[in-house]
Amino acid sequence: MSDLNFKEIYETYSSQIYRVCLGYVNDQEQAKDLMQETFISVWKNLSSFRHQSKISTWIFRIATNNCLRHLEKAKRIITTELPYQIEEKEEVKQDDKVLFLYRCISELEETDRLIISLVLEDLPQAEIATIIGLSVGNIRVKVHRIKEKLTSKFKKNGQFE
Amino acid sequence: MDNLNDLKAIWLNVKTDSLPNSEQMVAIIKAYKNKTLQRLVLLIVAAFFMIALMLFTGYVYDFKFLSSKIGEGLIVFSGAILIATNLNSLNRFYKLNVCSNKEYIEFLKQTRLRQLFYFRYTQVAGLVFSFIGLILYLYELVYKNQIVMITCYLLLVLYFTVIFFYFRPKSFKKGSAKLNLELDKLQCIEQQF
């Protein structure tokens, strides 16, 4: 498998996948672990990817399935000694509004967290329906309800004023 | 005010500077070791080795007693159970991640139920078969000397008692508690679909 091809995919999707994982767990370290697990699966399965779906659908499916499997807090990525030292970067300080939004999302039900994360990543509802496994109509209703929940939380907190 | 666009603007504002770049990610992937997969493969290889060893011994050493042959058969059978179950798990492991979230939750639930079944029944069956197999298998080798026979069987009983009444319940308690917790969580997610 070509490293170049993988690197392109990683550059395109890593931030999106990280945000979806962060929306699910609301913990930077765990989100990073989940994002890395996703790309380990992408690397392993890229050669067998048959283009039956869009690559974004395939990657988001892997990421969201990883999120759903995520139960324990322990560090999941175990590596042997790395060929060169990757510098440990400190946890980044996020803006208050960002922290509030991610906290609100992580308080939703698991499937709702995934749905709204994919909506915020600008994925079409048909693609979200394929990833989640629900009908487009069902997704539309759910998105509407989640949006209402989130905006009411933001308004209560005075965040949209 | 368009609230969804406001939310999107905030959502995209999250800082992603701490993420590894693509070079670093490739290095992480190449250094990644899947412990679960390694353990499964090791178990399968060990079971294959045990079966080969048993068959080779049976071929080289011409057993006279029927008990030895039955014993050998039971031990080989318990090894075969171990291989079949773990090969099946390996096969399921490779099928992960290719379906929608809804199908995936169902898949995970089935996997956890199978793991519970393995803990409860398959593991016990394997232990019982190999225990009876060893009792029968060793008889021809030790029956002539009473002291050797008593010592050998005492050690065998002691070994299986410790495995069966100490290690197995301990690992079962830990494993089944984790699996039941995961099952509860999966059922809860399943209801959301």
Q: What's the pLDDT score for residue A95?
A: 78
Closest-CA residue in chain B for A62?
B97
DSSP letters along A3-39, please?
HHHHHHHHHHHHHHHHHHHHHHH--HHHHHHHHHHHH
What mean pLDDT comes out for the span B75-81? 92
CA distance B127 to chain A (A): 31
Q: What is the pLDDT of residues A4-37, one digit of tens each?
A: 588 889 999 999 999 999 999 988 889 999 999 9
CA distance A147 to chain B (A): 7
What mean pLDDT comes out for the span B36-64? 87
**Is the pLDDT higher at A97 or at B163?**
B163
Gap between the Cα atoms of B174 and A135, Å rounded: 39
Cβ neighbours of residue A150 closer than 8 Å, sequence gap 6 or more:
A101, A104, A105, A116, B3, B7
Which among B4, B31, B108 has the least Cβ separation from residue A69? B108
Six token digits for residue A8:
């392109």
| The pLDDT of residue B181 is above 60 | yes
ipTM above 0.90, yes or no: no
Share of chain B above pLDDT 70, in %: 97
Residues of B in contact with A119 (CB under 8 A): 4
Gap between the Cα atoms of B138 and B131, Å rounded: 11
Residues of A in contact with B102 (CB under 8 A): 132-134
> At residue A115, what is the residue type?
I
A86 near B11, Cβ under 8 Å?
no
| Bridge partners of residue B32, in order along the sequence | A79
Is A120 within 8 Å of B20 when comparing Cβ atoms? no
B130 near B77, Cβ under 8 Å?
no
Read off the DSSP letter of residue A48.
Answer: G
Count of A-B CB contacts under 8 Å = 156
Q: What is the mean pLDDT of chain A?
A: 81
B40 near B86, Cβ under 8 Å?
yes
H or E stretch at A50: none
Which among B14, B31, B189 has the least Cβ separation from residue A83? B31
Question: Tokens 């057993």 correspond to what residue?
Answer: B63
Q: What's the pLDDT score for residue A2?
A: 59
Taking only residues 20 to 59 of chain B, the set having a beta carbon closer than 8 angstroms to any beta carbon of chain A reads 20, 22-33, 35
Is A84 within 8 Å of B32 when comparing Cβ atoms? no
Within 10 Å of residue A135's Cβ, how many Cβ atoms?
11
Is A45 within 8 Å of B28 when comparing Cβ atoms? no
| Bridge partners of residue B10, in order along the sequence | none
Is B101 within 8 Å of A91 when comparing Cβ atoms? no
Closest-CA residue in chain B for A97?
B10
pLDDT grade, residue B2 (50/70/90)? Answer: low
Closest-CA residue in chain A for B21?
A11
Gap between the Cα atoms of B183 and B177, Å rounded: 10
pTM of the shown model: 0.78
Buried b (16+ CB within 10 A) or exposed e, A150-161: bbebbeeeebee
Is A89 within 8 Å of B12 when comparing Cβ atoms? no
Gap between the Cα atoms of B75 and A60, Å rounded: 46
CB of B108 within 8 Å of any CB in chain A? yes
B interface mutation test: which of A10, A28, A157 has the most B CBs within 10 A?
Answer: A10
Q: What is the pLDDT of residues B111-144, one digit of tens each?
A: 888 888 888 888 899 999 999 999 999 998 888 8
A50 near A56, Cβ under 8 Å?
no
Residues of A in contact with B28 (CB under 8 A): 36, 40, 77, 79, 82, 86
CB of B97 within 8 Å of any CB in chain A? yes
Cβ neighbours of residue A34 closer than 8 Å, sequence gap 6 or more:
A21, A24, A25, A63, A66, A67, A70, A76
Q: What is the pLDDT of residues A81-139, one digit of tens each?
A: 444 444 555 555 667 788 888 888 888 888 999 999 999 999 999 999 999 999 999 99
Of all residues in chain B, what percent are helix, strand and coil, respectively (each to 5)? 85, 0, 15
